[in-house]
Amino acid sequence: MPGEAHHIGPLEHSMRTGAFAGIHRCWTALLAAALCMVTPQHVLADSGNLKDHAASFTFENDLFFNTDRYYTDGVQLTIRSRVDERADLTKRLLDTFCQGAGCSKDDFRSSQIRFGQLMYTPRQITVSRPQPLDRPWAGLLYLASDYNYLSPDASTLTTLTGEVGVTGPASHVEQTQKWVHRTFTGQPPRGWSNQVPGELGLLVSVQRKHALGGFVADTNGLQGRVDGHWRVALGNIMTYGAAGLTARFGKGLPKVGDEAGDVIKDKKVTAAPPVGLDNALMGAGPAGDDSCIVSWLRCSAFATVEVRLMARNIFLDGPLFRSGPHVTPRRLVADMALGARLDFPETRNAWTGPWYVQFKATRRTPEFKSPAPVASQRFGALTVGTDF
């Protein structure tokens, strides 16, 4: 009856206790795996050899399309190492994950760390009161490590990732957005007092890319390649499954994306540039006849489509272990992206390798449901990087 106290019987108490214990064990295992994988081994290691490293910085924002809503800003610094500097415990854990993902521990090629912020806002950023029908204010400050395994024939790339982050005021996204708006728009955001509260965020994921040999074209040195990918992520930040296709156009293209750091091509090992915000940069190949219009320029283009089946998104569902702002998420979300990249091989100098710049434009389908209108979103990502 309404208003009556609910008394928990022995069986129900046992079930609740068992469920909590199961969640606790799962959370503890996820925490241990993420922390072990995310340890920035190649930053701590005393390698002292810059030529085995690469770096890039990515600025992702919807200001490129004159909007200011939903996923509105992301920044990321990426540092990659081609030297195997993993700790023994990390290596054993990754070997186990790799076997489960269908790759071989002998295929390890490179690792990288990523440090950055993600920022989400409702449509009306000048409103200080809560907006329960719109996307919550939310941010994430994170550190992630990626470990790349490339098959001997260079056609299959497996990436294992561990990520640790924090939401809420400790993410400092409020300060970042206010600085960006002072610099570019002059319109101050006023609703950060309503953001998703602080919570430790964890995520582990596995991604597999495979070159589709039936979709290869080569005309007068201009190549076209297609690779398919799938990805599974588990954590309180996000839990989802994804699948997609990427088409790449250019000269000297590898069989599959450049994330492995070294791409095997024609029985030679060539250094590939670092990745950007989404681990999917597409690059040109080694020096030679890969020039684009002029001898000092290489260029390539790509198009990507990805569909995700979302089970959890902390930026929409709210925190897992406490109450907070939330909306009803859509479980099926798709991204469509177009991008171009310019490499400048003659910019190599005594301190850095050649530099490159890339721009990618993404359109994302609506991510949540509301009685109020919910639009799709567009944002751009500008990446600048070098290979030491």
384 pLDDT tier (thresholds 50, 70, 90)? very high
Q: Which residues contact 334 (CB under 8 A, 6 or more apart)?
A: 305, 306, 307, 308, 364, 365
Q: Which of 30-39, 106-115, 325-334, 361-370 has the least mean pLDDT?
A: 30-39
Judged against a pLDDT cut of 60, whether residue 228 lies above it is answered with: yes
How many CB atoms neighbour CB 175 within 10 A? 12
pLDDT at 105: 87
The pLDDT value recorded for residue 2 is: 38
pTM of the complete model beyond 0.75: yes
Q: pLDDT at residue 12 above 70?
A: no
Q: What is the mean pLDDT of residues 20-28?
A: 53
Angle at 109 between CA 264 and CA 244, to 5 degrees: 80
Structural domains in the chain plus CATH codes: 12-387 (2.40.128.140)
CA distance 37 to 144: 8
pLDDT at 152: 87
Mean pLDDT of 25-45: 55
Place of tokens 């129900």: 12
C-alpha distances (whole Å) from 263 to each of 110, 147, 253, 386 are 11, 15, 10, 16
Joined tokens for residue 39? 């340890």
359, with CB counted inside 10 A (0-12, 13-18, 19+), is: middle
Q: Is the pLDDT of residue 193 over 90?
A: yes
21 vs 96 pLDDT, higher one? 96
**Model pLDDT, residue 306:** 98
For residue 28, the model assigns a pLDDT of 56
User: What confidence category does residue 291 fall into, taking pLDDT thresholds of 50, 70 and 90?
Assistant: confident
- Token output for 334: 């798709």
Quick one: pLDDT at residue 14? 42
Q: What is the pLDDT of residue 294?
A: 86
When pLDDT is averaged across residues 116-139 and rounded to a whole number, the result is 95
Mean of the per-residue pLDDT values of the chain? 81
Each residue's pLDDT tens digit, 246-279: 999 988 777 676 544 433 333 233 333 333 333 3
The DSSP output letter for 282 is: -
Query: Can you tell me the mean pLDDT for 350-372?
Result: 94
Higher-pLDDT residue of 73 and 253 is 73
Q: What pLDDT shows up at residue 275? A: 32
Question: Shortest CA distance to 206 belongs to which of 70, 37, 89, 8?
Answer: 37
Q: What percent of the chain has pLDDT over 70?
A: 78
For residue 287, pLDDT beyond 50: no
Residues 333/299, Cβ–Cβ less than 8 Å: no
Mean pLDDT of 331-348: 94
Q: Is 315 helix (H, G, I), strand (E, B) or coil?
A: helix
